[in-house]
Amino acid sequence: AQSVTQLGSHVSVSEGALVLLRCNYSSSVPPYLFWYVQYPNQGLQLLLKYTTGATLVKGINGFEAEFKKSETSFHLTKPSAHMSDAAEYFCAVSLTRGFQKLVFGTGTRLLVSP
Amino acid sequence: EPEVTQTPSHQVTQMGQEVILRCVPISNHLYFYWYRQILGQKVEFLVSFYNNEISEKSEIFDDQFSVERPDGSNFTLKIRSTKLEDSAMYFCASAGQGANEQYFGPGTRLTVT
């Protein structure tokens, strides 16, 4: 069975500071990995995904994540936080074969202060 | 840009009543999903649907739940007899050929009183 662990239910940063949101996964086979963002009262928007190939993936809004197989991690980073980045961020994993379900982590709420 | 739409945005119903949540997936997509998110908790998979049949369902998706694709555009989730614990945000998602990226709708907030 697959699972996702997101360390830290809340992360607070100052505007302009580095954003680091942690995600570790467990999967019996090489997974597909995703980061989704949820703004208040809105749905889930895909930030970025790792399927195959380059382990450093770039997404929208300046976010990127690196797949590290040896550490079973897929941490999300952004060099400089903006106020508009304040949202809930979900890491998710799926099996690579077929149209598999997404298994989500519990989410991390990012708070950005001026 | 194509998007997944869901109606209604908010549904209030009494315990024991039937509800139908509606979704219009992206038009050329082939794979369809329902997820739910109880307030303050993580997003949970309910069911996946392909080629007019259920591909996988979770333990949550019991006999009270059903899904249907009644025509070429809509994808519905029916809860036959709602319980208080069914109160949640329900998300529809769809994926195209290859199915390695799911697009989510804005959700329907279901409140069972």
A12-31, pLDDT tens digit by residue? 999 999 999 999 998 877 78
Q: Which of B41, B37, B77 is nearest to B61 (CA)?
A: B77
Q: Which of B25, B103, B39 is CA-nearest to residue A88?
A: B39
Cα distances (Å, whole numbers) of residue B8 to B12, B19, B74, B90: 10, 11, 13, 11
CA distance B108 to B53: 23
Of A39-43, A80-84, B30-34, B79-83, the range with the lowest mean pLDDT is A39-43
Q: What 3-state class would DSSP assign to A71? A: helix
CA-nearest residue to B42 within chain A is A106
Per-residue pLDDT of chain B (113 residues; tens, 9 = 90+): 788 999 999 999 999 999 999 999 999 899 999 999 998 888 999 999 998 999 999 999 999 999 999 887 899 999 999 999 999 999 999 998 876 789 999 999 999 99
Under 8 Å between Cβ of B78 and B62:
no
DSSP 8-state secondary structure symbol assigned to residue B81: S
Distance CA B11, CA A65 (A): 37
pLDDT of residue A5 exceeding 90: yes
Measure CB to CB from residue B42 to each of A94, A100, A104 and give the nearest one: A104
Give the 3-state secondary structure of residue A1.
coil
Task: Give the span between the Cα atoms of B113 and A109, in whole angstroms.
Answer: 28
Mutate to test the interface with B, among A50, A60, A89, A102 (most CBs of B within 10 A): A102
